[in-house]
Structure 1
Amino acid sequence: MKEIMKTTTILRTVVLCLIFISKGYPVNERSESIKKKPRNVIFILTDDHRYDYMGFTGKVPWLETPNMDRLASEGAYLPNAFVTTSLCSPSRASILTGMYSHSHTIVDNQAPDPGNLTYFPEYLEKAGYQTSFFGKWHMGDHGDSPQPGFTHWESFPGQGVYYNPTLNINGNRITYKDSTYITDLLTNHAVEWLEKRDRKKPFFMYLSHKAVHAGFQPAIRHKGKYKGKQIDLPSTFEQTKTGAYRDLKWPQWVADQRISWHGVDYMYHENRNIHEMIVDYCETLLGVDESIGTVMNYLEKEGLDESTLVIYMGDNGFSWGEHGLIDKRHFYEESVKVPLLVRCPELFQGGIRPKQMVQNIDIGPTVLAEAGIEQPLHMPGTSFIPILTGQTDENIRKEVFYEYYWEYDFPMTPTVFGMRTDKYKYIKYHGIWDRNELYDLENDPDEIYNLIADPDKQELAKSMSAAIYDWLKETNGMQIPLKRTVKYRFGDFKHKNEH
């Protein structure tokens, strides 16, 4: 309890923390070397890739991801990486701006860019970096137009398609045919850009894959590789079906969602077997793994693999049956955790798995720090490189906060606010008559036993609830940023692919 109260006190001094951040890193040998030679950075982002669906984790025994495994063995795997909002557009906006959803106001997949945001690649471009973007944008804008901060641009509208895409390449649209696969196309173009770059300038490349977003479509060469394979379904798969959720004190909305678009009994309004869908997901992921290998092979060929900072991350997690749910949005571990692999042998040794919590708002500060650029005051995150280099007294996050705002198009999930420490998770719902949730993550990592009504946990719940409000107040989040969105008839709902 003392630790929680201490955490609450710390939260009330966020402003002081921001002042500290504004002073930058202390001058030492490492920071001086960064200023002399800005580091090349490659950021690879995937869609809907949950944190433990990689070969080396053993979660799916038959899943093979040799290139992700290589990043983990030669670099770092951060198993406690989280997003601030588990949804495509808000998460991508948080990555690019370094801000929480309520601050940048792109709160869902429909909310437009307010027009006053600065993306961290803009700072890189001004500092002399060559910058490039390849792939899915889908961040407050469903279009494909070039965006600020990127000297080279290749994208497509909205979610895009897996086969025969049309790319907007620096303002010119080109359609590809003959079963051109989007993951391969983006990867090939990214490597071509690296090959043609100005070798006198540092570079930042943002490779943003469509995969592994639903409906999953693997590359032709991977189709059928895992046919007939199955996973062990999670321990919470059946509870909402049997009624056990009442004894476990889960919210009613979780049980109700089982037969919805995001429930295991009617997944995306299809009568499909969950194992078949997971196979499609895993086969689609294989193209992403090969993409990583292609990029790494290029760096090795050019002698850049030791000095280039390579970051691989997912934009949000994904549930596969936990609590009877699929997809994302909620604050359960599978939804909010993302894969985060980092490699740079020149900076830190490989094979490490630091347990410290990091978030997607830390990507911008991390890249800017390695470029020798002072972190802007509006970014509340911090570089996670000191965690990887063993400077464990620096930049240790004691908690992460979460927010998700109810969507007209997907009304099954309520507005969610949450706080997670290393030991506890508190989930607070807004605008719904239901119970909140409190889990002891050390003793109950599957989030089975809701402790919200336990007499000896009432002070804990109050302190975490107060901390959430303090966080929102101190980061200008006490007003939900409502946005004008297009309303669809219910009959159109099942045809929308913006989940």
Structure 2
Amino acid sequence: MVATTAVSAETAKKPNVVFILIDDMRFDAMGFMGHPFLKTPQIDAMASKGANFTNAFVTTSLCSPSRASILTGQYMHNHRVVDNNHTDLSDTIFFPQYLQKLGYKTGFFGKWHMGGGTDAPRPGFDQWVSFRGQGNYLPPGPKWTLNVNGKSVPQKGYITDELTDYAIDWLDTLNQEEPFFLYLSHKAVHAQFIPAERHKDLYSDVDIQPPASQPDTDENYEGKPMWVKNQRNSWHGVDFPYHSSLNIKEYYRDYCRCMNAVDDSVGRVRQYLKDHDLDDNTVVMLMGDNGFLFGEHGLIDKRNAYEESMRVPLVIEAPGMLKEGSTVDAVVANIDIGPTILDMAGMETPEQMDGQSFLPIASGKMDPKDWRKHLLYEYYWEWNFPHTPTMFALRGDRYKFIQYHGIWDTDELYDLENDPHEMHNLINEPGLQSTVRNMRNTINEELKARGAMVVPFGAKRGTGANLRRESGSTSAEFPENVLREKDAKQ
């Protein structure tokens, strides 16, 4: 049951909110971030009128858990959506339910993907347009439909454009005296990437260079956990990507092409708000549900605690609340989205939420020393992708500590200030052992305080994607620091 006792008595006109979620969008997949070739003029314009959050993260880098964290304001160990398979959301409260109590009209358009077997309307939304599972960029046949308020309606065209059409059409039906919350959840830019026809030849002449950490060299894998080297030759590695001969460079090129339809969508929404005199009282947020690796450390996809996986874009245009063209360096997360939007609407953060409103720190009304010192990250092993282990990480302003659970391997410590690409594992550095101990203790204490010292998991239904390419890279060897010739000392 959604309590209403926490609702503020504030009577001032509440802001409208548009939340645009992009699937698998990297933190650097925007032109204004200095991308070498990707052009995103609409998102760039949004950033110039709003705030760019340079240290935004997800607490679990996986579609369903991350989306659940956004909608509930909770860590995965609390909302219990542990993977992309089965989900029980019967007792879950989504923050748009509170917005409805505050008088907001709410609409959801796009990819839900918590579980994948149903596209039925969910609590918290007056208007509903969604699809089963990952959806399709283009309709695969006449029987493929969208769920529009419980009714099956054929998908007509390119999904990024069509979802934007539905969202704008809904805005046209609203009474402008009532505040609205629009959740536009794009299928893009999830694989397999199919660009819109108008973008299919973009960037064809660009020479895409692999990340410096991609080559299979001793230098790149020095100090790395064995699982990283082993995953190179797997479903989520560059030597056997999705158990195919996929060209990662071309794969990334199509990813960028798909981003341009997303950019068009952002532009259309912002233009609608301007044309209807809604822009001065509407907050527009753009965020990724998780990052994505395209060869870093020899890996593809997400799930792990490396920056390219857990760091996401977050751009917010909030007239009167956030300074135009500003940068926010505070560590914020997907669990903070619900509390922040409720704060903007005049409501305190509900007790069950783990996140907190970042409006005070982003607007300069909070002393940085009073904001969080670190962010907890968690990922639980999935049977269908067995090559990524359970892990917990602590991401602070300077150091990141990653520890693994249920696997015989090496933990990691990175100095992000001096090593932003996480190339040099400092876990055995003599001068940093107190840092390791403190961060390990902090993870354990935080998990214990949250009642999260028990690892949840989904039912195993097979062997999963456990194949390796015979001609691919070889398995990792145990590191020298664990090898002994005679006994524990020698």
TM over 0.5: yes
Q: Distance in 2 between matches of 1:385 and 1:490?
A: 42
Q: Distance in 2 between matches of 1:491 and 1:233?
A: 25
From 378, 381, 384, the counterpart of 2:352:
378
Matched, 1:220 2:197: yes
Partner-residue secondary structure (3-state), 1:259:
coil
CA-based RMSD of the aligned residues comes to 2.1
Q: Distance in 2 between matches of 1:428 and 1:139?
A: 27
From 325, 328, 339, the counterpart of 1:354:
328
Looking at secondary structure, tell me which structure has more helix per residue: 1
CA displacement at 1:23 relative to structure 2 = 12
Matched, 1:340 2:314: yes
CA displacement at 1:311 relative to structure 2 = 0.5
- Aligned partner of 2:32 in structure 1 is 56
Equivalent position amino acid for 1:193 in 2: W
Matched, 1:181 2:158: yes
- Aligned partner of 1:19 in structure 2 is none
Equivalent position amino acid for 2:442 in 1: A
Deviating more after overlay: 383-392 vs 271-280: 383-392
CA displacement at 1:244 relative to structure 2 = 2.6
CA displacement at 1:228 relative to structure 2 = 3.8
Matched, 1:139 2:114: yes
Rate the CA distance shift 1:412–1:490 in 2: closer, same or farther, 3 A. Answer: closer
CA displacement at 1:242 relative to structure 2 = 1.9
Deviating more after overlay: 275-284 vs 137-146: 137-146
CA displacement at 1:35 relative to structure 2 = 4.3
- Aligned partner of 1:169 in structure 2 is 148
Rate the CA distance shift 1:486–1:151 in 2: closer, same or farther, 3 A. Answer: farther
Q: Percent identity?
A: 51
Partner-residue secondary structure (3-state), 1:210:
coil
- Aligned partner of 2:387 in structure 1 is 412
Matched, 1:282 2:256: yes
Partner-residue secondary structure (3-state), 2:77:
helix
Q: Distance in 2 between matches of 1:49 and 1:296?
A: 20
Q: Distance in 2 between matches of 1:492 and 1:332?
A: 23
CA displacement at 1:243 relative to structure 2 = 2.7
* Structure 2: segments with no counterpart, 5+ residues: 470-490
Q: Distance in 2 between matches of 1:173 and 1:228?
A: 41
Q: Distance in 2 between matches of 1:422 and 1:317?
A: 19
- Aligned partner of 2:18 in structure 1 is 42
TM-score in terms of structure 1 length: 0.89
Q: 1:228 touches 1:276 (CA, 8 Å); kept in 2?
A: no
Q: Distance in 2 between matches of 1:396 and 1:233?
A: 37
Q: Distance in 1 between matches of 2:5 and 2:438?
A: 31
- Aligned partner of 2:273 in structure 1 is 299
Deviating more after overlay: 474-483 vs 48-57: 474-483
Q: 1:111 touches 1:485 (CA, 8 Å); kept in 2?
A: no
CA displacement at 1:273 relative to structure 2 = 2.3
Q: Distance in 2 between matches of 1:209 and 1:93?
A: 16
CA displacement at 1:176 relative to structure 2 = 2.6
Q: Distance in 1 between matches of 2:267 and 2:259?
A: 13
Equivalent position amino acid for 2:375 in 1: V
* Structure 1: segments with no counterpart, 5+ residues: 1-21, 26-30, 495-499
Rate the CA distance shift 1:492–1:319 in 2: closer, same or farther, 3 A. Answer: closer
Q: 1:109 touches 1:139 (CA, 8 Å); kept in 2?
A: yes
- Aligned partner of 1:255 in structure 2 is 229
Partner-residue secondary structure (3-state), 1:225:
coil
Map residues 296-335 of structure 1 onto 2, 5 A cutoff: 296-335=270-309
- Aligned partner of 1:367 in structure 2 is 341
Q: 1:35 touches 1:371 (CA, 8 Å); kept in 2?
A: no
Q: Distance in 2 between matches of 1:251 and 1:158?
A: 33
Q: Distance in 2 between matches of 1:58 and 1:99?
A: 32
Q: Distance in 2 between matches of 1:283 and 1:93?
A: 28
Task: Give deviations 1:96-152, integer Å, cap 9, x for gaps.
Answer: 000000111101111312421100000111221100000000014531000000011
- Aligned partner of 2:481 in structure 1 is none
Rate the CA distance shift 1:406–1:393 in 2: closer, same or farther, 3 A. Answer: same
Equivalent position amino acid for 1:250 in 2: K
Partner-residue secondary structure (3-state), 2:198:
coil
Matched, 1:110 2:85: yes
Partner-residue secondary structure (3-state), 1:439:
strand
